[in-house]
């Protein structure tokens, strides 16, 4: 390590920096960027600020064509030294983003000079060098290699350079780059010119680093893993990429093959993984959740359920993947060969596309072979899981894990639909049992949720479920459930979380459309389940309101009931509708007539279910009971549960109400 401390000017003196392919992208989010900003703003300009060690690795000349395909001119003709950033990427990237934001601020305010430096000189020193008089041939002084999906994004969106029609991809790392740039732009807009001048002086001359260049005797991959345990911890997926690339370098010695083909596939795979994980910037997918699902499905055949769960609960498979399986010793003893790496990476690639569709079924551009019904099943299972979240926390019971395993082993879409239909039914029955937290039926049903049952024989699985529905365990569970619903109905807070009221009514609505032979679009189903920005999210509407106004004539129909009975009537199944929350707010506690007619948002203008309710002249206990029993008939038909006749009034929440009261 150099004993001398280097300023940013000295760091960038005849040097270009590249982030190597085994590195993750820009991982800092607002909390780290905000802390970084505050540190720089708050230290006294009369002193220096030590920002730690920057660890680098000199790029070998033999790698120029691969790493610097368009940039070797600045090394050969300009005398620049090309370095990989092994440790310090997040800090250096943040500084360069901030300098680029300063340049943008100066251009916006028509300022040509900061302190003694022209804006053009600042760009040439830290951001970009053009080849001679060319306006097209340039080299960024800090950036990514051109195979990285952040390369074009960084050049275009952060440095403002022309990338000449290269596809700009948004992923979680690129979103972090964009967010950091926006953060700095906003902060700079609030500073005076003199404050920006001082900030630039701090950045370029007062912040100091130690430079350390790794000796070629040292393994750079091991160094990377060790050093990057500091700061913001690397995810297992990020570490895994580095490990696989490292293992690929060992194949030449062991198998006399070129590891570059393996390395290229790994890089392409991880590029796609992060493209899909960050495809929806507003709600990025978790890389840890995906890797957990893939690890279970990929290694299930060779490891017991107990082993997998033990590894999962220890550290989410980090130890298993990095310390037990993908190791140098497993290459040396022939447990891992090049074909194993190719197969594993190929499986990751294929799995990510499925995983994305499970989470975003509305995006038909991915897996276009999935028809509407398959995508609707994804929505059903997602909604069920969202509502009954207390269950299915263990990964071997998660619908996406089970679905991933099945989709990887079965290409027939007809069989996939059959699988999803059975899975949806099992989960629904589970949710009924889970409404009674002490039910031993949950444990009985969980035993049916395993890969072998779901894969090997549909008929046996169906028989198992039918046997379960006839069992004493389920009858006991269902009896307790009916008693609970009679006391508290379908709207008590804890039932909203554990009992699938909204799901049942939503499925009932879809069944009404199906019987009416009305076409259903993906957009309609998605809006029914999850809502949209314009209409809001689905909510439970009480037809007979929770807090009826005295002037709205509701007491005319319900005055004979006690207060406790009124609450039970209001919260019974037949009195509840699923409508969007914005509509719910508008019709509120109005009279039944007003709820039907209200502007163009009343029941008459809603779903088929709302229109059927609106066809009634009045809304009394009779209509509530009738609609509740209609939904029971739907449940019996749709899920094959067969609620006993003597339990149906209890089940719809009217078991403790004198419905014949005169």
Q: Per-residue pLDDT tens for 533-579?
A: 888 899 999 999 988 877 678 888 888 999 999 999 999 999 999 99
Query: 242 lies in a domain?
Result: no
When comparing pLDDT for 136 and 358, which is higher? 358
Residue 82 belongs to what domain range? 5-231
Residue 639: what pLDDT?
Answer: 94
Judge whether 271 and 25 are in contact, CB under 8 Å.
no
421 and 498 within one domain: no
What pairs with residue 18 in β-bridges? 84, 143
> Does 656 fall in a domain?
no
Supply the pLDDT for residue 232: 63
Q: Is 659 a residue whose pLDDT tops 70?
A: yes
Nearest to 602 by CA among 578, 627, 583: 583
Same domain, 449 and 333: yes
Return the higher-pLDDT residue of 14 and 306.
14
Are residues 576 and 519 part of one domain? yes
What tens digit of pLDDT does each residue of 633-643 get?
999 999 999 89
Do 414 and 488 share a domain, yes or no? no
Q: How far is CA 441 from the centre of its chain?
A: 32
95-113 residues labelled b (16+ CB within 10 A) or e (exposed): bbbbbbbbbbbbeeeeeee
Q: What is the pLDDT of residue 300?
A: 79
- Considering only 162-171, 304-313, 478-487, 539-548, which range has the smallest mean pLDDT? 304-313
Residue 238 in domain: no
In this structure, the strands spanning 81-87 and 49-58 are antiparallel
Please state the rounded mean pLDDT for residues 246-250. 84
pLDDT for the residue numbered 393: 52
* Domains held by the chain: number: 3
**What tokens appear for 287 in the block?**
């890389």
Q: What is the mean pLDDT of the chain?
A: 86
Tell me, what's the pLDDT at 498? Answer: 52
Residue 48: pLDDT above 70?
Answer: yes
- Domain C-terminal end among 409, 435, 468: 468
Q: Is the pLDDT of residue 313 over 70?
A: no
When mean pLDDT is compared across 93-97, 106-110, 306-310, 457-461, the lowest value belongs to 457-461
> Do 485 and 386 fall into the same domain?
no
Cα–Cα distances in angstroms (integers) from residue 173 to residues 27, 177, 273, 406, in the given order: 6, 6, 12, 31
Grade residue 438 by pLDDT with cuts at 50, 70 and 90.
very low
Residue 240: inside a domain: no
Last residue of a domain, one of 468, 497, 521: 468
Residue 625 lies in a domain: yes
Predicted local distance difference test score (pLDDT) of residue 388 = 61
Residue 523 lies in a domain: yes
pLDDT on residue 216 = 62
Average the pLDDT over 491-512 and give the result: 78
Choosing from 413, 439, 468, the residue where a domain stops is 468
Question: Is the domain of 482 the same as that of 448?
Answer: no
Instruction: Name the pLDDT band for 598 (thresholds 50, 70, 90).
Output: confident
Gyration radius (Cα) of the chain, Å: 31
CB of 40 closer than 8 Å to CB of 191: no
Q: How far is CA 582 from CA 142, 502, 524, 538, in A?
A: 49, 16, 17, 9
Instruction: Give the confidence band of 175 by pLDDT, cuts at 50, 70, 90.
Output: very high
Question: What is the per-residue pLDDT for 358?
Answer: 97
The H or E element that residue 538 is part of is strand 538-542
Asked whether residue 431 is domain-assigned, the answer is: yes
pLDDT for position 632:
97
Reported as a pLDDT band with limits 50, 70 and 90, residue 494 is very low
How large a percentage of the chain has pLDDT more than 90?
Answer: 48
Arithmetic mean of pLDDT, 100-117 = 95
Does the structure show a pLDDT above 50 at 238? Answer: yes
SS (H, E, C) 559-571: CCCCHHHHHHHHC
Q: Name the least confident of 372-376, 503-507, 590-594.
A: 590-594
Q: Are residues 78 and 104 in the same domain?
A: yes
Residue 389 included in any domain:
yes
Please state, in angstroms and rounded to a whole number, the distance separating the CA atoms of residues 452 and 332: 34
Least confident of 111-115, 555-559, 652-656: 555-559
Q: Is residue 14 within 8 Å of residue 238, measured between CB atoms?
A: no
pLDDT confidence band for 182 (50 / 70 / 90): very high
What are 662's two structure tokens?
């005169």
Domain identity same for 282 and 168: no
**In this model, does residue 394 exceed pLDDT 80?**
no
- How far is C-alpha 360 from the chain's CA centre? 9
Both 550 and 622 in a single domain? yes
User: Which residue did the predictor score with more confidence, 399 or 506?
Assistant: 506
Question: Is the confidence at residue 437, as pLDDT, over 50?
Answer: no
Residue where the block lists tokens 């500084």: 95
Residues 509 and 596 placed together within one structural domain of the fold:
yes
**Residue 487 and residue 383 share a domain:** no
pLDDT per position as a tens digit, 325-336: 999 899 889 899
**Percentage of the chain exceeding pLDDT 70:** 87
b (16+ CB within 10 A) / e for 74-94? bbeeeebebbbbbbbbbbbbb
Bigger pLDDT: 612 or 454?
Answer: 612
Q: How far apart are CA 119 and CA 100, in angstroms?
A: 10
Phi/psi for 509 (5° steps) reads -60, -45
Q: Which residues pair with 56 in a beta bridge?
A: 85, 213
**Mean pLDDT, residues 126-152 taken together:** 88
Whether residue 390 sits in one domain with residue 337: yes
């Amino acid at each position: 390590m150099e004993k001398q401390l280097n300023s940013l000017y000295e760091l960038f003196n005849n040097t270009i920096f590249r982030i190597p392919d085994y590195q993750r992208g820009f991982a800092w989010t607002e909390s780290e960027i905000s802390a970084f900003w505050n540190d720089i703003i708050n230290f006294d300009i009369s002193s220096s600020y030590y920002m730690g060690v920057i660890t680098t690795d000199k790029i070998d000349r033999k790698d120029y064509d691969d790493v610097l395909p368009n940039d070797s001119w600045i090394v050969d003709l300009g005398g620049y030294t090309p370095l990989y950033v092994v440790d310090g990427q997040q800090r250096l990237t943040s500084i360069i983003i901030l300098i680029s934001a300063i340049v943008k601020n100066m251009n916006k305010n028509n300022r040509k000079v900061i302190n003694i430096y022209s804006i053009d000189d600042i760009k040439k020193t830290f951001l970009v060098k053009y080849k001679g008089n060319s306006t097209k041939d340039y080299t960024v002084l800090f950036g990514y290699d051109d195979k990285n999906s952040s390369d074009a994004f960084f050049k275009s969106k952060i440095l403002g350079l022309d990338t000449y029609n290269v596809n700009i991809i948004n992923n979680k790392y690129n979103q972090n780059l964009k967010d950091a740039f926006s953060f700095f732009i906003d902060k700079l807009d609030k500073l005076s010119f003199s404050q920006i001048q001082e900030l630039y002086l701090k950045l370029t001359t007062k912040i100091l680093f130690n430079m350390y260049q790794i000796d070629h005797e040292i393994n750079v991959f091991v160094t990377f893993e060790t050093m990057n345990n500091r700061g913001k911890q690397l995810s297992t997926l990020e570490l895994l990429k580095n490990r696989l690339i490292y293992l690929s370098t060992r194949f030449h010695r062991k198998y006399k093959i070129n590891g570059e083909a393996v390395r290229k596939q790994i890089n392409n795979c991880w590029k796609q993984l992060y493209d899909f994980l960050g495809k929806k910037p507003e709600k990025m997918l978790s890389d840890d959740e995906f890797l957990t699902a893939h690890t279970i499905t990929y290694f299930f055949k060779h490891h017991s359920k107990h082993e997998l769960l033990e590894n999962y609960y220890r550290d989410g498979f980090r130890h298993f993947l990095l310390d037990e399986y993908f190791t140098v010793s497993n290459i040396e003893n022939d447990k891992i060969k090049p074909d194993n790496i190719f197969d594993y990476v190929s499986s990751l690639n294929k799995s990510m596309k499925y995983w994305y569709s499970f989470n975003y079924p509305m995006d038909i551009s991915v897996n276009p072979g999935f028809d509407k019904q398959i995508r609707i099943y994804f929505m059903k299972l997602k909604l069920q899981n969202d509502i009954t979240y207390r269950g299915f926390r263990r990964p071997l019971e998660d619908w996406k894990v089970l679905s991933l395993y099945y989709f990887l082993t079965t290409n027939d879409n007809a069989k996939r639909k059959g699988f999803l239909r059975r899975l949806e039914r099992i989960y629904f029955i589970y949710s009924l049992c889970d409404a009674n937290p002490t039910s031993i039926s949950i444990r009985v049903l969980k035993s049916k949720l395993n890969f072998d049952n779901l894969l090997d024989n549909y008929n046996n699985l169906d028989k198992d479920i039918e046997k379960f529905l006839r069992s004493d365990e389920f009858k006991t569970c269902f009896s307790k459930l009916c008693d609970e619903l009679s006391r508290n109905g379908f709207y008590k807070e804890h039932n909203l979380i554990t009992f699938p009221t909204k799901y049942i009514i939503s499925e009932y609505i879809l069944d009404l459309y199906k019987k009416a032979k009305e076409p259903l679009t993906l957009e309609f189903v998605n809006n029914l389940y999850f809502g949209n920005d314009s209409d809001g999210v689905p909510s439970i509407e009480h037809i007979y309101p929770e807090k009826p106004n005295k002037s709205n004539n509701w007491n005319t129909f319900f005055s004979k009931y006690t207060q406790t009975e009124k609450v039970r009537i209001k919260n019974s199944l037949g009195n509840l509708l699923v409508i969007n929350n914005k509509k719910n707010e508008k019709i509120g506690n109005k009279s039944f007539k007003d709820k039907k007619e209200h502007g163009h948002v009343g029941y008459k203008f809603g779903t088929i279910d709302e229109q059927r309710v609106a066809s009634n002249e009045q809304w009394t206990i009779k209509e509530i009971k009738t609609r509740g029993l209609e939904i029971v008939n739907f449940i019996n038909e749709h899920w094959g549960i067969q609620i006993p006749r003597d339990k149906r009034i209890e089940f719809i929440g009217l078991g403790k109400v004198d419905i014949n009261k005169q």
